[in-house]
Structure 1
Amino acid sequence: MQFNIFQKMILLLVSLLVPVMALYYYSTHRSVSVIQDELIKSSLNRMALFMAQLDASIEKLELVSTPILVDMNVLEYLYNLSLSDYPMLKTRLLIQEKLSLASNSGNWRNEVIVYFPKRGEGISSSPAYRFDRTEYENQFSLGWRFSEKLGIGSGFTRTYVTTGSSSIRPDELDLAVRINLFQWDFENLLDTYKASHSGDPFFFKTGYSLIANRSADEERMERIVTVLSGRIDGGESGYMIRWFDDKQYLITYYYSALLDWHLIDAVPLDQVVGPIKQQRVLFAVASVLLLITGVGAAFALYWNVQMPIFRLVRGVQRIKRGDYSYRLKKNSNNEFSFLMQNFNEMAAQIQDLIENVLQSQIHARDATLKQLQAQIHPHFLYNSLGFIINMTKMKNDRAVIDMAHHLSDYFRYTTRMDNRGVSLKEELAFVHTYLEIHRLRNESLAYSIELPEALERIRIPRLLIQPLVENALVHGLEHVDDIGRVQIRVVAREDRVHVEVEDNGSGMEAVSIAKLLTELRLPADDYAGCGLWNVYHRLQGHFGGDSEIAVQPSAIGGLKVELIWRMQNIVIKTEGSP
């Protein structure tokens, strides 16, 4: 591939800028990837530390609360039924005081309750507590469970029983201890967690309400839950990156095996990687501006140097193709104006020298076409006149009149020797007259002519199709015993016109067809020049060198001869087009 100066300059600029931009974008991409990886690790580590502290606080509360199950005062209150009211009340107060101490050992507000199910009593660290058997049985859970109704609010609850209990049915136990952790304390923890970074943390478990920090964006949390609901039903931790409100967020989630909930946090990545991306955009803008400046400089060089050279080359090509009237316009006052002026003078001299030769060639070509047309004369005049004589003797006036009319039309058409072309409609009307003359003489002849209305106005040389029909009648149907058929069809395929003439005669062998096609291309000096050869050379002279004649066996049994040329200055629908 050949490149001009302008294209080479552009390629040079692009070849210099592209590696630099590619390297810069690769480095920034790697930087963003490293920062994202570190941000993911940091977020997961922070969540792991937070959950570890939360679990440690809960386990500490469990550690100081579960010994209540074997406390001497609790056992005395459970089994020593012989105590009087005052010792019983004193023991109850001691148990309540121990529960308060256990409750206060935690880092947040909670409630510790001792149940005596068979006695229908309960003692709580909260003085306002009143035993409710239905509440006790409904909230019974040996693992941590979230509940909407924990007396003074929602939260997590868990029930402990003595090891080796004969039953774990709530109504059959002698003794049980429950710890209630309230939701607002978890919200306080999330507020503290959020204050240390720019995330939006919340607790989530499928089927339960979210536990969020108090300044959380509820709409965004719901969208995050919708994305994560199908991924974090199991006990796994991980992360994902998603777009919300035209912002990219890093969503990390961490599973708490103790609570069976997930801690979820969403951090906007633009706050971290945004400056790097902005710097990348600025670099791209600067690169584009540099490229535009370089293109402008290359265009100036191209316009003042390459374009004059290109116009000179185009002028030479136009003259080479035969357009000797082409002249160059002088748009500048530099060194190229002198070359253009001398080119125009040279073109004018060449035009003067060639026009005389060209005019002579045109006259010679017109004479040749007239000679070729003049060679096509009817060979059946005497037979037609004989037919008229016979029909006159047989008193068949109708046949005589028809034959006379057809002969009149036939000779009126063939004796016009001007070079003006005719339309396909006119040519096929003449072919129809020619076939009618033959049909009057031979009633076993059948023919059909198909010409779409869209192709009727196409201009062709006079007597271009009739020789093909004459060959079909004389050579194709000469030895046919049954009804002889001739089919004429004009179609358009893609950008070419096809005139097909078929017969059901004896046809030709493949070797004979190949020989015939070779003879068509012989010059007039080497060939006798008649019949199909005349048609081929007239077709070439009128429609150009890409026109052709195709010969092949016919679908109806004989031979198919096809004239093909490119359509000019007419728009029609081709076969297969809508």
Structure 2
Amino acid sequence: MSGQWTYGDGAESKEDMHSFYWFFTDSLAQPGMLTGSNLVIEASFSYENIQNMLDTYKEGGQGDPFFYHKGNSPILNRSADKQLSEELIRYLDEHSSEDTTQDVVKLNGKKYLVSSVKSSYLDWHLVDVVPLYQILQPISLSRNLFYLFMILLFVVGISASILLYRNIQYPIKKLIQGLRRVQRGDYSIQDLIENVFQEKIRAKEATLKQLQAQINPHFLYNCLGYIINMAQMKDEQAVVSMAHNLSAYYRYTTRVERETSSLKEEINLLVNYLDIQKLRNGRIEYHIDIPEDMLAQFVPRLMLQPIVENSVIHGVAKSYSSGEIRITGESSNGFCKIYIDDDGPGLSPDQLEALNLKMQQPLQEEMGCGLWNTNQRIMHLFGNQSYLLFGPSPLGGFRTEMGHRIASNEWARKLANYDLPFYAGDCALMLVRMEEEFGQYDNNDQTLLEYAVINMAEEIMGEFMEVWGVKEEHGYLVFLLQLKENDTDIGKETILEKLSVQLQSKVKQFLKGSLSIVITEWFAFPDQLYDRFRQASAYFRQIVGDEREFVMRVSDVETPAAQGPLDVLYTPPTFIHLLESGQWDAAEEKILAVCAELDEKWSESWEHCMEAGFLITASFTNLAHRNKLTLANLMGDDIEWLQSGEAFTTISKLRKWSLSVLGKLKEGTSNEIKDIRSEYVKKIQDFTDKNLHLDVSLRVLADHVNLHPTHLSKIYKIETGEGISDYISRLRMDRACHKLVTTTKKVYEITEAEAAFAKGKYDPPIEFSSVLMPKKYVQGDTKENNVHDRWMLETLGMKHKDTWYPANDDQYRQKLQLAIASGEKLPDFVSVPTNAVLTNQLIDSGQFIAIDELFDKYASQTLKDHAAAHPELWYPFTKDGKKYNMPIMEYTDNDDTLLWLREDWMEKLNLEAPKTIADLENIMDKFKNENPDGLSPDKVFPLAISLKNNTNTWMGQLDWLFGAYGTIEEQWNKDANGNLEYGSVNPGAKQALAKLAEWMNKGYIHADSALWDEGKSAESWTKGQAGILPGANWVPDWPAPDLLKNVPGSKYKAYPVPAGPDGKIGTKWQNSGVNASIMINKDAKHPEAIFLYYNYLLDNLANPAAGSEYEYGFAKGYDWDIIDGQPTSDKEKIKDFSNEFPFLTGPARIPDLYMKTLVKLANGEKPETPYEKQMAEFRKPENWYAGKVVMSQIDIRKQNYFTGAATPTMVSKWNLLRQSEMETFNKIIYGQLPVDAFDQFVTNWKSNGGDQITQEVNDWFKSVSAK
């Protein structure tokens, strides 16, 4: 078709034409039509359409637009200034008109901005004219406001300087003048005495003020400069934030009425200070975690700020990347401690030692005053029971630790809060160990017994003492005791011992169990509490012999622990060797001998008992794992003794436990080793059968089963009566005869393929045809001659011939379908995208062979193992029981659903991980109604989801919610009978919709979710409006960086999906680890070649070994190179960097490698292989942890079992059914339909083709899964 727009009646004219016309012409060449006929179509619209457009355009702006074409009458808007338009048209007629122009034109004595844009369709110009003063007026106003703001800032700065001078510098100046007068002798002795007294008072006040002045940061002008810059950039939010923090900061630091402040006020000051620093350089991340009960304590004003300032200046500022400052606190051992850490360069041990020493010396000029002043002020307030220490930080930088003993009034406050009747004075501790008789009870009963013992202690001792009983972390019961009256006739020590013996007796009588008790000397509470507890617990650990039911007093002097090594434990033969060789009786004798040595020499050393226990346990574990068993299954109840540490608490317990486990290990492993020789034979035969085309020499077989070749040969001969070499020769002969009989191949063709796989290369090279998608070529490479093809020829002996090079995916699909329709010969190896319809068309073309035999013989073991673990990957490639496509593997589990929560909100609200939907609802309610960022409820919609096209998707998805009610929507799941059902019509979907409707009503979901696609739903999370984003493990790569950029201080973390009210839990799983596939033409001379190629990629590039030629990448000079003597993959450093190579199968990937590596990194293990190191470098720690979460919920996933082409009924009815589904679901969610409307939807779905489709889907499933 052809034609063009004209203005008028269809002919070119210059006078009063009022319409636009376009005539289309084309020939008619349809069957049955008259030949030589033409089709003519007329399209037109009136000039009034243009006028309507101009009127609309004028309403939205300040100009006076019109439509102009030189030589034709202009089309004006209906309210146009005609005089101005006529003068402007004369100007336009006199000047050449370009496609786009913008000029300042003087008309009627005024200046106008004239803009013109040409329409490529109509060949007319849209012209707009705006008075110039209207454009410049807002700019002038902004400039005047800026000058006014600068003047105000200058006045504020001068005022602050005057205030600082009057309050600090002037008093110091007067003090110095007075001292100089003393030096000159201007005062009499009496005057000097009086003035010295007055000066001491003033000196103290001035010293405090001077200390405060020294500590106050001198960065006011930098902050004012920041405000000026942000104002110029019109960043109002930054100006307001800086002004708010700066005013709060100086309001606090310039107050001089108090010497102390609460720790909470100091922390608020730090938040202001760090926010200021974060605004200025943007590289600071800080975390503050101070226990609530510490915030009320009083500390010297400006105690923490100079230390944090030191971390900013000497830590974060010296880092090239973002820096972290962490401020934490704790109350322990009677001390209140605060830690300030940074991740900067830190100091060497010698420098730290020197700095700690200087804190105890007088102030020196080179030291700087901030840290020294802080130390002096802490000591002035808290005395010698305080300290300031410096050391290495867990973050890798510098740590400052300050502490002071908790004051008696603070203890009194805490005791009063808990209503405990204790006071500062003499107290004693009693530690109680419940002995073996109580070990027979389970955890619940054990807790009740412990509660009973505490109650009995309070009853027995309560007449004479105040009693406070608790259970500590090692399992001891600990009692704090304080006499009620001090005038008792019985001594304090005597009464405590008698009451302890009485407690033992009553527990024995009523609870049928024994106690061992350790009591301390009376000590000063609370100062000596921690030291006495440490002594008592250490005493218990030393008593590891057979002593029990004792009451012992801990003396002030600690008995030194016994020293020396164990002997019997390490005397050959060692315990592990006795277990490996099956010498059970000797192993039992070894245990008895070790315990006898412990009884004789180390009965008071818990550490020696622990050493023996650990080595015996390690030996048991090693033997169990060698036999593919778990220690937990073998031990039974004995595992609880090991997990609790009870097995090593005494020598008698160690003896009893070790002998019990030895007996179970002997019984559990005896059956496993009976058939070991026949197991070796089976392994050899399986490996040989699968890899006969490769190297199957005796050495290779021995390595495969981890035996010496000579030993393996003897085992095989004894077990089968045939040598290994004889078996291999016979197997090869049988296979060659079978091929000669069943195929048309000649002997040399059979041997050529076998030789190629044996050597890993075709020699001489072979030619083949395939399909290569477009790639970016560099360094002079072309699609016909490039680094990949040169590598393929040199390494594998393979080269292209008559290969297809489509321009893009769409063109490739079209070419394939045209070739199928026309019967054109297709390439030897055809890559097929994940498209079941196209796969069926290629199979039905008759040009491709089934690959069952080729796969069994030539496929990599990695590919075979994956296919065996995931038989569903064959479903799309199977027809009439035969497999037609070689799968190309992809990373599995990469799209599994997680919940990404705002971790900073979770921490600030002190919320725990959601385990149920109810937990998640509580979190959403807190996020919305108690938002930590101070957002009002109407601004927060906690759950970010997409309801636009699909809910079972890749971001903002809802599969996890439907899974909580026993189904996964929009996919085909297995029902209880193993048949496939559509998840959206399962009754569980109704419950999920009811919950969504409830959440929508509460405002947990944004009302625009039905308009949001996946990316838009993520945007609400990254802007800080939502706190929960369903997504995959790779969210840290996108969109999480946008969140960190948009919401300073934000953090995020992946959480497992929650369970529903009935404990149901589930997510989608649609990735069987297949990205695409390859089909093999029946006329290919070397059908096995694609396996040789793919096997090489899997074995060498998917997970390259350290030191291999592919350690750093595929091709030196392309995706890696040596720069400055070091290998690098940095594309910024490599000229003509390219990592796009025309691999026939795409990049080689081992399906489970990605997730296994993430889990390894998340567990803190060191990356070892090149792949692991690359993942550690380029994947964020949040991504590592997310991978671990994915693998933790691997058993809850529900697979989409239908992966075939559309069934006959689907073709005609599926789109309507899906549309009905989306409309009904959204109306229920938005409250436009009741939840019960779901039932009618299901009925309609089934009657309108759903039942027929379900039957067809199940017929397909049975055909591909051999059911």
* TM-score above 0.5: no
Task: State the structure with bigger RCO (CA 8 A, min sep 6), 1 or 2.
Answer: 1
Based on CA coordinates, which of the two structures has the bigger radius of gyration?
A: 1
Q: TM-score, normalised by structure 2?
A: 0.17
